[in-house]
Structure 1
Amino acid sequence: MRIAFIVTEFPLLSETFILNQITGLLDRGHQVDIYADKRGNINNVHPAVEKYNLLAKTYYLPDIPDNLFYRFIKGLRLGLKLSFQNPQLTLQALNVFKYGNQAISLWLLYTAIPNLDKVYDIIHCQFGHLAFRGMAFRQMNAPSAKLITIFRGYDISTFVKRKGLNIYDELFKQGDFFLANCEFFREKAINLGCHENLIRVHFSGLDCQRFIFKPRYPSPDGIIRIATTGRLVEKKGIEYSIRAIAQQAKINPNLEYNLIGDGELKEELQNLIHNLGIENIVNLLGWKNEREIVEILDKSHLFIAPSVTAKDGNQDAPINVLKEAMAMGLPVISTYHGGIPELVENGVSGFLVPERDVEALAEKLNYLIQNPQQWCEMGKAGRAYVEKYYDLDMLNDKLVQVYQQILNSNLANRDLKSDLVTLSN
């Protein structure tokens, strides 16, 4: 199969879930090209980018300014250049009678590729908000391709809150099939108008072989090592885990809390740690690569992921950092948030507490500190669950099956319920 991935930025270290799909498809003998709105940091890339020579498969689409005046001015220059290269494509991109607002807004003009010598079977938009570019890409460059969109979090929470409940109406009409990375977001998409038989859950996978399981027992030095991995932003809820650690430090002084990640709240969290008087316990370690993260988790006993719904509505799916910790045998504490309850079995592989509930976080943390005999069984349960539902190879095989079924089904006829139900199950 010939597949075009529509992404926001490439390469981007934080989006290994997209990289895993690309390399998985390439390993299975399929052609994958990447179309990005923005160029990432090519001096700091995941090893797979170089191994698979992905930059040679990456193409950068012109940025579409939000400001309409600048969009028009830039569009004039783009249109003149395009008219010399492919006059017919230029006229098509500006055909307001056929394409309406897509032409008026210049989305088609900004997405037209004059000398594209590639044919695609699948156009896969890696977030819902990228599907507008995906629809334009298909109209201009690959009209026979099937359009697939996956919803991952921001696109079905914050973006919808900003743009309105009808933002995806046209996509739900034009798109051939949809994916969501958890049931929580699938239900959100259905409530927005997506046909329930045109969307299925497709988890973000994890290469479990890269995260070695180890039973957890107390250390001889008596220190309980706790870890959190995540960007220092509001929806990760790290303020609340820091406060819970501060509570526990009063009764369990032998704690070490390692925070892996960086972000806009770093200074604010540093001040909080100072004001709580736990600078000797909490370590802001900054950004680490995968090998360094594994080394830190390997020495840890417990893992906390205190995710919360941000003020702008942003929510998480079952986050990869939790999968990594569970795969390595760490009992986890997280929250009833977004798709996380689909990953963490409360009382089995760890505990779930309400969002922003410091007392509940501290209580579950204290329980695990006081009951280390529970760690091993919880760790085994977490590893087993991740292997069963989030194995990367299994999920990449399923993605190929989805593509093949879509290509083999006449999804243009929405009355073919038997085909659609087979796909959505």
Structure 2
Amino acid sequence: MTTQRRKKVLVFRSADVHQTNRALAHLRGQFPGAEVTLLLQREQVESFSGNPHINKFCVYDSRAAGSWKEGMLLIRKLRKARVDLVVIPCRNSREVVHLSDAIVLSLIIPAERRIILDGRLQEVGLSFSRRMRALADMLACLMVSGIATVMTCLMLSMWRRPAPGDRVSKQSGKPVRVGILIPVLPDISHTFVYREILAMIEQGADCDVIALEEGDYGVLHPEAQELLKRAIMVPRLSRTAAVLRYLFFLVRSPRRMAELIHLYRPHSHGDKLLFLRFEQFHNVFHPVQSFGLIGLLKRRGITCIHAYGSTYPATRAMVAASLLHLPFSISTFVDFEHESDFRMLYEKIEGAAFVVATTGYCASRLISMTSGAFRDRIRRIVLGIDPEYGRDRVQRVDQASPLIMAVGRLVEKKGFDYLLRSLVLLKERGLFPHCMLIGDGPERGKLQALAEEYDLWDCVTFAGALTNDKVLEYFGPEHILVAPSVYAGDGERDGIPTVLVEALICETAVVSTRISGIPELIEDQRNGLLVPARDGEAIADAIQKLLENPGLRKEYGLRGRKKVRAGFNVYKSSGQLWSLIEQRCAGSNCNTNPS
């Protein structure tokens, strides 16, 4: 009797973690007994460790010395494997020009089938024309890169650094047109950004909304759906097109390109050819990703840039501003706290017309991490909410009351493992509240394992990711929201979690921790309870206090709603931001090339 061979599926890791996870879950559903291998870079393994849909990792390191040798060994290893299906996740199957390396590699690997899986989980076969275009792009890129390498070396050998006084951008008198850069659209974690932009537009702001990355369509919040109607996606460039765009500026604006290379060399181990490194082509943080944006800005006639996010959005804004001689500004959250490629906080703030920090904590951290000289350039503008948000919500009546809720991505910084530990203590005290965890993410497997270990399955529901209009149904004075945020090991942390603002305006009592900007919203024992981070017992004590005091829950909820309506009005905050853009960025000269 012969046994059937187990099906083998090889998945290329997408630039988007959420998209890759959704693709893996989809494939596991299609092939329950298959051996699924994820191909990814070494530094990406942690993001997928514990994913139940992955059987094996195939790891490589494109940044290591001698990476071409490792690449050859990887190809040899993959060719020896008997693979039934090769899957390349892609946000949009109509735009795959940037995937030429993945397509060519998939052709080298012996496989029965090769498919592209797009953001809506639709399968698209690798047609003959797609294969030929990928091969042609790779060959053309090799030839053009050789020319670009020689020209770069010649240019840098002749370049002399100009005096600081020469680096002033002068507005040309063209009509002002503002480009608002958002990191990703759609996305379940950027609702606060979408709300602010929609409020600006509602109040008359004339701007182009530009999405740098196309996100995950799995769960669409209403705000994302609305912004999708008017946002412009930055087109993906093939490698050859990116190198040609680089060559264009090398010839047309050699001084600006030389200054840009000089700016980034200290942050790329002195690499003068950093814009020509193939292995960085899918690194969202790398400045080479700016060339698709630059072409779009030129076509749209943008004269001023505002970027949401201090990581790759600010990097792309700074590169575009340098090469197009435009002013730019930045809105930051707490994304600057954890290490990322080309973080370059000092250079970004120095080059920006102004920088918005969403909390006082963020503003003080930016100053302490850069220079006190930037104090006047950093402005605090909170991320707000519509004062009438949730007024017409229909509350669910099929839930146990009071319900303990926790809402957010299932990642370390949310501290949900400490909430589970607090539930164990509450059970030991004879209290059995039901807890609903709303959200999804890489720590879901770990949290479910903890719930099983703690014997909490009778009182914890993992609801998965829900749209915020669905989450609204669970808010109300009879329930409790817990946001046990912590400082994560990699430096990630919350600013003020959006769900706290949403809960308070719906008069929901909240428990949270004393980290980052949270105490700027929650006043302990006035409109909520604050506890030390990573303290399950303190969380349990706070929850018990609210469970046993319905009047206190109602009192905190009323005070919370009053504070949010007074200090976190999205129409007021968006108006402040638009005024700043008009005054400091669109209407005045600014330094676009930090020294």
Question: What is the TM-score of this pair, normalised by structure 2?
Answer: 0.60
Structure 1 residue aligned with 2:318? 135
Q: Shift of residue 19 of structure 1? A: 1.2
C-alpha deviations, 1:357-403, integer Å up to 9, x for none?
A: 11111111111122222111111110011111111111111112222
Structure 2 match to 1:416: none
Aligned match for 2:328, one of 144, 147, 166: 147
Alignment of 1:358-369 (within 5 A): 358-369=536-547
2:122 corresponds in structure 1 to none
- Structure 1 residues 279, 77: CA separation in 2 closer, same or farther (over 3 Å shift)? same
> What residue identity is the alignment partner of 1:25?
M
Distance 1:163 1:400, change over 3 A: closer
1:91 to 2:255 alignment = no
Deviation at 1:178, TM superposition (A): 0.6
Alignment correspondent of 1:118: 300
Residue 119 of structure 1: how far off its partner (Å):
3.1
User: Equivalents in 1 of 2:184, 2:260: separation in Å?
Assistant: 27
**Residue segments in structure 1 that go unaligned for 5+ positions in a row:** 64-73, 414-425
CA contact (8 A) 1:308 1:315 kept: yes
Amino acid paired to 2:262? N
The CA distance in 2 between the partners of 1:151 and 1:114, in whole Å, is 23
> Closer, same or farther in 2 for the Cα pair 1:229/1:43, shift >3 Å?
closer
Letter in 1 for 2:315: F
1:394 — aligned with what? 572
Do residues 29 (structure 1) and 204 (structure 2) align? Answer: yes
1:108–1:140 CA contact under 8 A, matched in 2: no
Other-structure match for 1:175:
352
Matched, 1:210 2:389: yes
Equivalent residue number for residue 417 of structure 1: none
Q: Which residue of 2 aligns with 1:264?
A: 442
1:157 matched to 2:337: yes
Per the alignment, do residues 88 and 32 of structure 1 end up closer, same or farther by CA in structure 2, a change over 3 Å counting?
same
Corresponding residue to 1:41 among 210, 216, 229: 216
Question: What residue number does 1:11 align with?
Answer: 186
- Name the SS for the 2:306 alignment partner: strand
* Aligned-residue offset at 1:352: 0.6
Please report how far the alpha carbon of residue 99 of structure 1 lies from its aligned counterpart in structure 2 after TM superposition. 3.5
Whole-angstrom CA distance in 2 between matches of 1:115 and 1:309: 37
Is the contact between residue 79 and residue 109 of structure 1 (CA under 8 Å) also seen in structure 2? no
1:191 matched to which residue of 2?
Answer: 368
* Superposed CA RMSD: 3.1
Please name the residue that 2:29 is paired with: none
Residues 331, 213 of structure 1: alpha-carbon distance in 2 compared, 3 angstrom cutoff: farther
Larger Rg: 2
Quote the Cα distance in structure 2 between the aligned partners of 1:249 and 1:295.
26
| Structure 2: runs of 5+ lacking an equivalent | 1-175, 265-271, 276-286
Distance 1:222 1:17 in 2: 29
How far has the Cα of 1:139 moved from its partner? 2.2
Q: Secondary structure at the match of 1:333?
A: strand
Classify the secondary structure of the residue corresponding to 1:60: coil
Distance in 1, Cα, partners of 2:321 & 2:315: 10
% identical aligned pairs:
24
- The verdict on how the C-alpha distance between 1:332 and 1:46 changes in structure 2, with shifts beyond 3 A counting, is closer
Q: How does 1:382-421 map to 2 (within 5 A)?
A: 382-407=560-585, 412=590
In the alignment, does 2:555 pair up with 1:377?
A: yes
Q: CA deviation at 1:298?
A: 3.8
- Report matched runs for 1:336-375 at 5 Å: 336-375=514-553
State the 1:174 CA deviation: 1.2
1:101 is aligned, of 262, 284, 287, to 262
Q: Distance in 1 between matches of 2:474 and 2:399?
A: 17
Within 1, Cα distance between the matches of 2:462 and 2:260? 51
